[in-house]
Amino acid sequence: MEHENVREALLKKNYHENCPGCKVDKEKELKTDVSFRNLFNIWTVVLCSSLPVSSLFPYLYFMIRDFNIAEREEDISAYAGYLGSAFMFGRSLTSIFWGLVADRYGRKPVVIFGVISVIVFNILFGLSTSFWMAVATRFFLGCLNGSLGPMKAYCTEIFREEKQGLGLSTLSAAWGIGLIIGPALGGYLAQPTEKYPRIFSKDSFWDKFPYFLPSLSISAFAFVVAIACIWLPETLHNHPLNNESTESYDVEAVETGSERKDVDKIIQKDENLFLNWPLMSSIIVYCIFSLYDVSYTEVFSLWAVSPRRLGGLNFTTDNVGDVLAISGVGLIVYQLSLYPSLERVFGPVRFSCISGVLSIPLVQSYPFMTMLSGITLYLAINIASLLKNILSMTIVTCLFILQNRAVEQRQRGAANGISMTAMSIFKAIGPAGGGAVLAWSQKRMHASFLPGTHMVFFVLNIVGGLGVLLVVTPFLRQKKTTPSDQLDTLT
């Protein structure tokens, strides 16, 4: 009986007045946490963070060409890779710091600061007049925009456990849509004087800065999001967790058995995150697939606009924008309708493994599309792009779920900071490596083994295959749920 009283005392939830985290917990208790407002907050903030990441890819080839830094046309892809990596390199240096700040001061301040950094540095990037200015602005944008890690923790904390899949699905959907709509915006709005001469005249400001309009449009959206973030609910508790539950009860009175162990688990919550294998294994797998995805994103855009003689599709930035916009619409429908049900059926580990396996033959089919033309080509490339983005977002969402279930609230910001740092390092390697491999493959168009762009997609699939191998047990582990694991939001 005494042991039952211990458990009841430990599981009792005492809400504190004027605590934002307690207010969120009350809403979860009343089952009012799944609201359009919460989903909208997640959507807008994450979309704002993801739009700048890849919006430059459709026009990056032409931007590097205009900077006159590449000596040969085949070298443009390599320089494009360095510029594409600057953002992720900057983010890899500061993600743990922003995670710790979010755990100490709250998710909301970090999110607002990150959105403001998008406003400032994305505009400066659009005004770049040299390669090194563009690299610097992208680097500082990566350093100062630490919103994504805290938002992953936020999605886990704003919803009850059974609805966390919906929250993280919304986050990954917004992230995926940003990675698709961003390049679409870049494709449609770059070089406006050439595409829309009736609106933007030659020798005007828009002719001098042909890549400013897509940056300006994203910064304008970020400005609106920054204002909306004033009303973003905070999920972090502003008082010590679990102290009240244990200090009112004589813990030493529990002398024996598993009850004492349960108490010890609750009191000793600050475990070393680097020794948390369910967390670290999911982060490692996440890094591999992040390298795979960001390399694919850069290679796809550069390959699509490359001339036919170099194994590309000879697309315009508008063509690339069309393909990515169609993929974005399909991804929204999938993530918000089919994904939650499929994830419950298969589970996050099995679902990500299936998606990784299906991605490999799909990606290897891309070079053969150069044999097509006209409506057949557009139909094939749109279907392939849609399927590839759906499979990528499935894997990412499943790994988000595993990472955030592996830790408790007080360490969730730091855990996501570690995840973002590791992922950003790999994503910094991705564009540089992808651009370099694409440039190399375009120099071997007549090779006997995997000629031309067959090689770059084969290299991508080596990375994807490694990710698939690591998804399965014994490498990837899930945290086993225990009663004490349910006390994340105890006060």
Residue 13 confidence (pLDDT): 62
Give me the DSSP letters along 139-171: HHHHHH---HHHHHHHHHHHS-GGGHHHHHHHH
Q: Which of 326, 322, 325 is nearest to 305 (CA)?
A: 322
Residue 31 confidence (pLDDT): 66
Residue 473 confidence (pLDDT): 67
Residue 38 confidence (pLDDT): 80
pTM of the full predicted structure?
0.69
Residue 214 confidence (pLDDT): 92
Residue-wise pLDDT for 299-335, tens only, equals: 888 899 888 888 889 888 778 878 877 887 887 788 7
Q: Which parts of 408-471 fold into alpha helices (H)?
A: 409-441, 453-471
Residue 9 confidence (pLDDT): 45
Query: Tokens 């563009």 label which residue?
Result: 134
Residue 213 confidence (pLDDT): 92
How far the first Cα of the chain sits from its last, in Å, is 24
Residue 212 confidence (pLDDT): 92
Residue 144 confidence (pLDDT): 93
Residues of the chain with pLDDT under 70: 1-13, 21, 28, 31-35, 74, 161-165, 239-271, 409, 473, 479-491
Q: Which amino acid is at 419?
A: S
Residue 258 confidence (pLDDT): 43
Residue 253 confidence (pLDDT): 38
Contacts of 365-373 with CB under 8 Å at 24 or more apart are 366/300, 366/303, 366/453, 366/457, 367/311, 367/452, 367/453, 367/454, 367/457, 369/313, 370/308, 370/311, 370/312, 370/313, 370/453
Cα distance between residue 317 and residue 325, in whole Å:
12
The answer to whether 156 touches 169, Cβ cutoff 8 Å, is no
Residue 82 confidence (pLDDT): 83
Half-sphere exposure of residue 186, counting CA atoms within 13 Å on the CB side?
26
Cα distance between residue 95 and residue 290, in whole Å:
16
Q: Which parts of 334-452 fold into alpha helices (H)?
A: 339-346, 348-364, 374-405, 409-441
